[in-house]
Amino acid sequence: MNKHAIYHILDTPYAYAKDIDTLSVTLRAAKNDIKICNIHYKSRYDWENSFNIKKMKIKDTNNLFDFFSTDISIERNRYRYFFELIDNEGNRFFLDERGLRGEEIRRKEATAFQYPYIAKPDVYNEEKWLQEAIVYQIFVDRFCNGDKSNDPENVAKWGSEVNETSMFGGDIQGIINKLDYLEDLGVNLLYLTPIFKSSSNHKYNTADYYKIDSQLGNIENVKELVKKCHDKNIKVVFDAVFNHSGADFFAFEDVLLNQEKSKYKDWYFIDSFPVNLEEVNYYTFADNVATMPKFNTHNEEVKNYLLNVAKYWIDEMGIDGWRLDVCDEVDHSFWRDFKKAVKNHKKEAIVIGEIMHEASSFLKGDQLDGIMNYPFKGALVDFFGNRTIDAKMFSEILSINRNIYMDSITRQMWNLIGSHDTQRFLTECGEKIERMKLAIVFQFTYIGVPYIYYGDEVGLNGGEEPQSRKCMIWNQENQNNELLNFYKKFILIRKNNKVLVYGTFKVLYCKGNNIVFEREYKNKKVIVAINNDYESSIISIRINAEVQDIFTLESSFIGTKMYLGPMEFKLYRIVG
């Protein structure tokens, strides 16, 4: 037994309250090292009765580790437990809070792990509607110009070349005009980039958090949009830029005017006075971005101001949540208060963070409901897009990403393959549509929320920003209708197969450029097989079951081999 690989702590995702009556417990061990993993458990105040014993199952695995998991329940929800491990040679070890050892520890009950109490406020309440969502991101200035009267000066011709300052006149009315298109596509959650008053085309330098930017419309337009979306069962999420304001925000303007005497000087991180836009002698978004001074969210006035903004738009518009810009550079305490404020005003509203890396400290249930899953995007770009990794490494990256969060959080991650801050996927894969299709197959059959960046569905390309922010293609002759129909088909498959939403994930085969995995939920199984190669593949895999092709509805029997043509995928429903 590789003792160095054995790991368990009393924290997510290794021990957490699944609900008020259930404790989810996970133990990590070296891959293929443990034959039997049992958990011994009982009430932490029970000193008379024997421990209950339950065999733990492998819920996930990767190149290095197996993750054994189970759920346990005890009356009054006060837990004491330890682990019994038997390796392949029959050697028996025990793990408790004193560590791993070979001696029997049943009688040393005081050293068992203790999860003292499941309190209702500590239970993370997952959002089922989010887990079943299909996200569609809209960069408002580039989606559709529905109202010429609010166009900015020197508006660019729709579809012309973009640069850092281009404005094309996309607006809220344009989104309203295209709601039938979005409904027909099948998406049910719109995420809008910022719509508040701002001097830029991207609107991430907010001048007024209580005003809709006049170039995008007015408050009545937004109310109409939200209402019509809700009538079509489409949720709406706004973008919150609370890490920083614009330099033309009233508080920072006062600092520029009154300098050390400004009552708002502590709203920001000022290095020295006089504050100077040219020298940028203050903390900003990124490095020395003069137009984006960073908020001091530890300041109570700043915190209360921003929390009131969040509550106002939920109350005023009935929006369904917030996406939080650069949220990993804002303190955890602020986000805990933010989530409470949001949930108190709309219980089912969601809080999603823009974090481009591992984010376990934000995803313990007390701050965020999920993040934009950039590690997922990176893995799909490298495997399907530019082919710099093989299936084994691809699977390893995703396994690491899966096993650092609660299962419910993993199901709520926004699994994007492109965004306004990255190259579009079609560009990442050298305009090879067949590669993008396989990425879409994986995106819609994997754990988490599929996420479409506007225009991807019709073949819009684009490199690094601002090229990733091109105008939406509305001329049907210029749209890739094959790709659009492909998206529609997979959105429908996702909606009609809850196993793809709630099911467990298990890799069955992972070699070269081939990956086969299984999703299982309530005794229903779906097998997804992908050949990310321009050569045919014969995959040796033991299925031994009657299957039905989800596309053709044809039935067949798969024994120990599966054939996949070049760049081919298969979706099978197990029927026997």
Token pair belonging to 524: 């229903």
Q: Looking at the structure, tell me whether residues 231 and 265 fall in a common domain.
A: no
Predicted pLDDT of residue 276: 94
Give the helix ranges, DSSP H, for 179-299: 179-185, 219-231, 250-258
Q: Looking at the structure, tell me whether residues 284 and 339 fall in a common domain.
A: no
Report, as an integer, the average pLDDT of 479-499: 98
The helix (H) or strand (E) run that includes residue 209 is: strand 206-212
Predicted pLDDT of residue 193: 98
Q: Which of 56, 90, 122 is the last residue of a domain?
A: 122
Q: How far apart are CA 81 and CA 557, in angstroms?
A: 44
Q: What pLDDT digit, counting tens, does each position of 369-408 carry? A: 999 999 999 999 999 999 999 999 999 999 999 999 999 9
Closest CA to 319 of 199, 210, 226: 226
**Would you say residue 381 lies in a domain?**
no
Q: Looking at the structure, tell me whether residues 301 and 172 fall in a common domain.
A: yes
Q: 431-465 as b/e, with b when 16 or more CB fall inside 10 Å?
A: ebeebbbbbbbbbbbbbbbbbbbbbbbbbbbbeee
Q: How far apart are CA 204 and CA 213, in angstroms?
A: 12
Residue 106 has pLDDT above 60, yes or no: no
Q: Looking at the structure, tell me whether residues 346 and 473 fall in a common domain.
A: yes
Residue 543 has pLDDT above 70, yes or no: yes
> Could you check whether the bond before residue 466 is cis, i.e. omega within 30 degrees of 0?
yes
Q: Looking at the structure, tell me whether residues 106 and 21 fall in a common domain.
A: yes
What are the start-end ranges of the E strands in 88-204? 92-96, 99-101, 113-115, 135-138, 189-192, 196-198
**Would you say residue 416 lies in a domain?**
no
Q: What pLDDT digit, counting tens, does each position of 187-222 carry? A: 999 999 999 999 999 999 999 999 999 999 999 999
Catalytic residues: 325, 354
Closest CA to 208 of 239, 238, 247, 249: 249
Q: What pLDDT digit, counting tens, does each position of 464-477 carry? A: 999 999 999 999 99
Q: Looking at the structure, tell me whether residues 21 and 65 fall in a common domain.
A: yes
Q: Looking at the structure, tell me whether residues 113 and 135 fall in a common domain.
A: no
**Would you say residue 434 lies in a domain?**
no
Predicted pLDDT of residue 93: 94
Q: Looking at the structure, tell me whether residues 72 and 206 fall in a common domain.
A: no
- The DSSP bridge partners found for residue 570 are 529
Token pair belonging to 221: 């337009």
Predicted pLDDT of residue 101: 87
Q: Looking at the structure, tell me whether residues 70 and 196 fall in a common domain.
A: no
Domain ranges, residue 488: 131-243+297-372+450-496
Out of 106-110, 147-151, 292-296, which region has the weakest mean confidence (pLDDT)?
A: 106-110
**Would you say residue 395 lies in a domain?**
no
Instruction: For residue 322, report the phi and psi dihedrals to the nearest 5 degrees.
Output: -130, 140
**Would you say residue 425 lies in a domain?**
no
Q: Which of 87, 122, 157 is the last residue of a domain?
A: 122
Residue 108 has pLDDT above 80, yes or no: no
Q: Looking at the structure, tell me whether residues 460 and 552 fall in a common domain.
A: no
Predicted pLDDT of residue 110: 83
Token pair belonging to 137: 């991101």
Predicted pLDDT of residue 103: 73
Q: What is the pTM of this model?
A: 0.96
Residue 79 has pLDDT above 70, yes or no: yes
Q: Looking at the structure, tell me whether residues 117 and 234 fall in a common domain.
A: no
Predicted pLDDT of residue 433: 98
Place of tokens 């990176």: 378
pLDDT band at residue 107, thresholds of 50, 70 and 90? low
Q: Average pLDDT, whole number, for the chain?
A: 96
pLDDT band at residue 105, thresholds of 50, 70 and 90? low
Q: Which of 122, 155, 173 is the last residue of a domain?
A: 122
**Would you say residue 521 lies in a domain?**
yes
Residue 553 is part of a domain; what is its CATH number?
2.60.40.1180
Residue 23 is part of a domain; what is its CATH number?
2.60.40.10
Domain total in the chain: 4
Q: What pLDDT digit, counting tens, does each position of 111-145 carry? A: 999 999 999 999 999 999 999 999 999 999 999 99
**Would you say residue 411 lies in a domain?**
no
**Would you say residue 330 lies in a domain?**
yes
Residue 268 has pLDDT above 90, yes or no: yes
Residue 448 has pLDDT above 80, yes or no: yes
Report, as an integer, the average pLDDT of 249-257: 98
Q: How far apart are CA 419 and CA 433, in angstroms?
A: 18
* Coil, strand or helix at 232: coil
Q: Looking at the structure, tell me whether residues 286 and 313 fall in a common domain.
A: no
Question: Is 483 within 8 Å of 437 (Cβ atoms)?
Answer: yes
Residue 197 is part of a domain; what is its CATH number?
3.20.20.80
Q: How far apart are CA 479 and CA 473, in angstroms?
A: 6
Residue 256 is part of a domain; what is its CATH number?
3.90.400.10
Report, as an integer, the average pLDDT of 12-31: 97
Predicted pLDDT of residue 133: 98
